[in-house]
Amino acid sequence: MSAGTKMSPTKRLGYWVVDFLIDYLSPILQALSTVWLTVADKPAFKLYSQNISNSEYFDRLVKLLQNDWSFWTPAFLFILGTIGSMHRTHAVKKLQNQIQEMEQAIRSVHPEFKQAWDTKLETLTRNYSLPHTTRISVYKHEGNQFTLYHRYSEDPVLKKPGRPFYPETDGCIGKAYREGKCEVSNLPCPQTDLANYKLAQQAQFNINSGTVDNFKMKSRCYAAYPIYELNKRDKIGIIVFESTLPDQFSSIDLHTKIKGKEGENLSILMAAWKNVEPSLIYAKDMGY
């Protein structure tokens, strides 16, 4: 069909019927078969079906179904439920196909994306002589939460991603987002004093005990700062420096550096990838 040509209502209905039969004919027939077997097994029906002609057989079947609502109502609901279940399955399959298409597009740029951010965060690590116990994470703000944008550490275990989403109200991320920075230099040692470490996480960051138990990295010091758009008005992300050792960042003055040229470089890098990065809001709109 050429561009701009309208499809007639009859043809549109025909396409809809074909699509419906392709998607739902098989499960409907299966449901009807189940209903039929259930009817045939009813004692009253077996009694009616003995020694009678075909026409009388079906006449009595109709009367039985008309009078036996205790069977017909759940049978109807069963068929309706089967159709509904298949509709949901079809919708999920469609979304899965869309996810695969998105993942394919992301994979096509992912190596360059990863390399660019690895280079940037590795440069920060080396320029400031950060120890191997340090991890740097960049989080992007979308909606009312943050997503992990990229993460770097010289320790491959610390570099592994954690939760996909982080609330904007909790943690050092939330504190930096609300207050403009979050700097904590010496939390209790989680290996020797886990109880007080959990209390400190609750008091400082509103992180409960169960969430702390799931931390892959139990950090003792944090330095987190907003990343602004190039217009310097809107916060688009947070960069978090953290270490399993205490007091690793106080001598570096990371706040001044991120407010200055380093923060501007991060903003430029985020802007450069804006059109190819995965979007949480788009994913939600699409139903993922």
CATH code where residue 247 lies:
3.30.450.40
Quote the domain boundaries for residue 44. 9-95
Closest alpha carbon to 127 in 10, 273, 252: 252
Q: Is residue 161 part of a domain?
A: yes
The verdict on residue 204 lying in a domain is: yes
Number of domains in the chain: 2
The CA-atom distances, in angstroms, between 13 and each of 9, 17, 24, 25 are 6, 6, 16, 17
- 10 Å Cβ neighbour count for 124? 20
Q: Is residue 133 domain-resident? A: yes
Torsion angles phi and psi, residue 8, rounded to 5? -65, 155
Which residues fall within 8 angstroms of residue 30, CB to CB, at 6 or more apart?
82
Q: Does residue 163 share a domain with residue 231?
A: yes
Neighbours of 144 (CB within 10 A): 8
Residues 52 and 155 in one domain: no
Residues 252 and 138 in one domain: yes
Does some domain include residue 233? yes
213-267 pLDDT, tens per residue? 989 899 999 999 999 988 777 899 999 999 999 999 988 889 999 988 898 889 8
- Per the domain annotation, does 14 fall within a domain? yes
CA gap 77, 197 in Å, rounded: 55
Q: DSSP for 157-220? A: TTTS---SEEETTSHHHHHHHHHS-EEE--PPPTTT-HHHHHHHHHHHH---HHHHHT-SS--S
Residues 72 and 136 in one domain: no
pLDDT at 285: 45
- Cut 0.75: pTM above it: no
- Same domain membership, residue 90 and residue 139: no
Same-domain pairing of 152 and 280: yes
Interval 7-29: pLDDT, tens = 677 767 776 666 666 666 666 66
Q: What is the pLDDT of residue 101?
A: 58
In this structure, the answer to whether residues 82 and 158 fall within a common structural domain is: no
Domain check: are 79 and 141 in the same one?
A: no
Average pLDDT, the chain: 76
Residues 134 and 187 both lie in one domain: yes
Q: Rounded mean pLDDT of 117-132?
A: 91
* Residues 146 and 280 occupy one common structural domain: yes
Domain assignment present for residue 116? The answer is no
Whether residue 158 is contained in a domain is answered as yes
281 in the same domain as 176: yes
112 within some domain: no
* pLDDT, tens digit, 9 for 90 and up, residues 66-117: 555 555 566 666 666 666 666 666 666 666 666 555 555 554 556 777 788 8
Looking at per-residue confidence, does 125 or 165 come out higher? 125
